[in-house]
Amino acid sequence: MTGARLPGGRMTVAVDSRNPVVRIRTRPQFSTRSVALILTTGIVSYLVLVPLVMLLYASVKSTEDKLPFESTVTTLGNYVAVFTSPATLPIFLDTFIFTVGSLALGLPAAILLAWLLERTAIPARAWIASLILVPMTIPSLLSAIAWIQLLDPRIGLVNVIFRGVTRSSSDTGPFDIYTLTGMCFVQGLRLVPSAYLMIAASFRAMDPSLEEQSAMADKMSRGRLCVSHCRSCDRRSWPH
């Protein structure tokens, strides 16, 4: 058995003199990128899985006046209390309305922006695309405080200016950020940047020749329709 090490020390070639078969042995390679990926995956898994496991564990424990990891009785009473509560159905209904309302506002806006920036010649496309992604850098807590300062029914800047312009005698309104409609509005706007990133990639991957073929087919179909209409008009104008 003879062996040779290639430059770099990452691969060894072994040749058996009795059985002339070349065997290549490679050593595992750990780059900085792979180490960073492993560390990031481990940290994110710890931050997500540990609270989730603790939540599931506490849900089957009788934790009244006790912590979940103390000696408690295992029970399904928590699930029974939740699903038999009269407040559960309204909560599910509000959640459904909130989800559908947010998507109804955010998804069409994202599709429109993706189409304008990827399939049209709108000016300043690079600047607009950058501005769309700015809300993703703003923390949710800071964004919520900003919307409260703008649309609080009593002290919100928009409401104060609106009451001043219209000379309203009311101390509140007309906009209320704390309603379900206001929550759908804010969450819908928060969904636009992430939805735009996913939809813009699809518009960008589309073949531009398909649009040209579609335009040509549309012109041809209109031309044929016009010709057929003219022929029918000529036939009707013939003397009977």
Q: Which domain holds residue 48?
A: 31-84
What's the whole-number mean pLDDT along residues 69-97? 84
DSSP 108: H
Tell me the pLDDT of the chain averaged across its residues.
Answer: 78
| Tokens 């001043």 found at | 164
Q: What is the pLDDT of residues 84-122, one digit of tens each?
A: 888 889 999 999 999 999 999 999 999 998 888 887 778
Q: Are residues 93 and 186 in the same domain?
A: yes
For residue 215, being part of any structural domain is answered with no
Rounded-to-integer distance, Cα 98 and Cα 9, Å? 59
For residue 223, being part of any structural domain is answered with no
Q: Are residues 97 and 174 in the same domain?
A: yes
pTM: 0.62
Q: Are residues 50 and 90 in the same domain?
A: no
Share of the chain above pLDDT 90, in %: 15
Report yes or no: 36 and 25 within 8 Å, Cβ to Cβ. Answer: no
Distances (CA, A) of 114 to 63, 99, 211, 212: 49, 22, 16, 19
Domain with residue 148: its CATH number is 1.10.3720.10
Q: Are residues 166 and 183 in the same domain?
A: yes
- 232 pLDDT band (50/70/90 cuts)? very low
Q: Are residues 95 and 201 in the same domain?
A: yes
Q: Are residues 46 and 138 in the same domain?
A: no
Report yes or no: 47 and 38 within 8 Å, Cβ to Cβ. Answer: no
Give the closest residue to 189 by CA, choosing from 229, 134, 120.
134
Structure token digits, residue 59: 């849900």
Give the closest residue to 188 by CA, choosing from 107, 123, 120, 117.
107
Q: Are residues 109 and 60 in the same domain?
A: no
For residue 4, being part of any structural domain is answered with no
Q: Are residues 91 and 166 in the same domain?
A: yes
Name which of 47-56, 134-143, 189-198, 205-214 the model is least confident about. 205-214
Q: Domain count of the chain?
A: 2
Rounded-to-integer distance, Cα 103 and Cα 185, Å? 10
Q: Are residues 70 and 146 in the same domain?
A: no
For residue 148, being part of any structural domain is answered with yes
